[in-house]
Structure 1
Amino acid sequence: MENKNKSHTVEEALQKLMHFCAYRDRSQKEVEDKLDNLRMIPEAKEKIIITLMQENFLNEERFARSFVRGKFRIKKWGRIKITQELKKREISSPIIKLGLTEIKESDYRKTLYELAEKKEKKIIEPNPFKKKKKLADHLLRKGYESQLVFDCINDIID
């Protein structure tokens, strides 16, 4: 456990942050939070962040792209949920748009249909309207756009 009162030199903090960023892509907010935990003064934080950017340890676009790929491929999140999560991490709209280009439209629809078909088999509900609602709620919570969700459900459930 790190000593909360220990002060770090800029060089020590920079080394820690380089390791932190090399482990996986980070957002600038994550780096700022980490520097706050290390109790760095604003001038030192700024210097460290600039150095991390110049040496390409910190790159918001790369972070957004890898975040989008991971959340889509592994968690099967839709664009809406991914966008909300990136906004929480203080990523700008233009960078979010760039990140979302990592999802191919064909893969997006295929994943939506696979999720819907898998979930539909698990929903035990004789009433087709209630079944559709349960399925729609599940897919909307995953962050898929309502129009796509409704088109998909109407294709799957007659």
Structure 2
Amino acid sequence: MNTRKTYTVEEATKRMERYCTYQERCHKEVNQKLYEMRMIPQARDQIIHHLLQHNFLNETRFAQAFARGKFRAKKWGKQRIVNELKIREISKFNIQIALKEIPDSEYYKTFEELAEKRMDQLISEKDLQKKRKKLADYLFYRGWESDLVYGKVKEI
């Protein structure tokens, strides 16, 4: 016997309004949630349309909040932010708007702080090549641009 709850379109709409109010969501997340709720495609389209019309769902706002949040909280570089937004099927246009949320001065300051912090952690590494590789790998993983990373690595 199947014990999973079924929802009317109204119930699902109210539930998705709460879901979108809690934090910014992208279309892909909302669509996935509706799919998990076993809503038929027509109902999913209807609910997403309602969320867009009533400003519960806004891709530009999502992209901006995502970029700000990941940069400030996780210290991600622009490359990683762009890749993660692409995975969420955010348009190039909205990705460009989102990247404007990160002031250049704050971006470079954060990069320097992150690189210095990692260098302090690698103080025990005696092999210069290994130290450079570890620093570069760390910064690339975080999504920082190669020109910044290689510039920093050369300083060692």
Give the 5 Å matches for 1:13-52: 13-52=12-51
1:128 is displaced (CA, Å) by 2.4
Instruction: Tell me whether 1:103 sits opposite 2:84 in the alignment.
Output: no
TM-score (norm 1): 0.92
Partner of 1:61: 60
Partner of 1:76: 75
Instruction: Tell me the amino acid that sits aligned with residue 46 of structure 1.
Output: D
CA RMSD of aligned residues (A): 1.1
Instruction: Tell me the amino acid that sits aligned with residue 125 of structure 1.
Output: E
Partner of 2:11: 12
Instruction: Tell me the amino acid that sits aligned with residue 56 of structure 1.
Output: N
1:91 is displaced (CA, Å) by 0.9
Partner of 1:114: 113
1:133 is displaced (CA, Å) by 1.7
Q: Decide which moves more: 48-57 or 122-131.
A: 122-131
1:27 is displaced (CA, Å) by 0.5
TM-score (norm 2): 0.94
Contact 1:116 1:153 in 2 (8 A): no
Q: Distance in 2 between matches of 1:43 and 1:122?
A: 54
Q: Percent identity?
A: 50
Instruction: Tell me the amino acid that sits aligned with residue 142 of structure 2.
Output: K
The 4+ residue runs of structure 1 with deviation greater than 3 A are: none
Q: Distance in 2 between matches of 1:46 and 1:140?
A: 38
The 3-state SS of whatever aligns with 1:49 is helix
Structure 1, unmatched stretches of 5+, are none
CA shift digits 1:55-90 (9 cap, x unpaired)? 000000000000000100000001111111111111
1:48 is displaced (CA, Å) by 0.6
Q: Distance in 2 between matches of 1:154 and 1:104?
A: 25
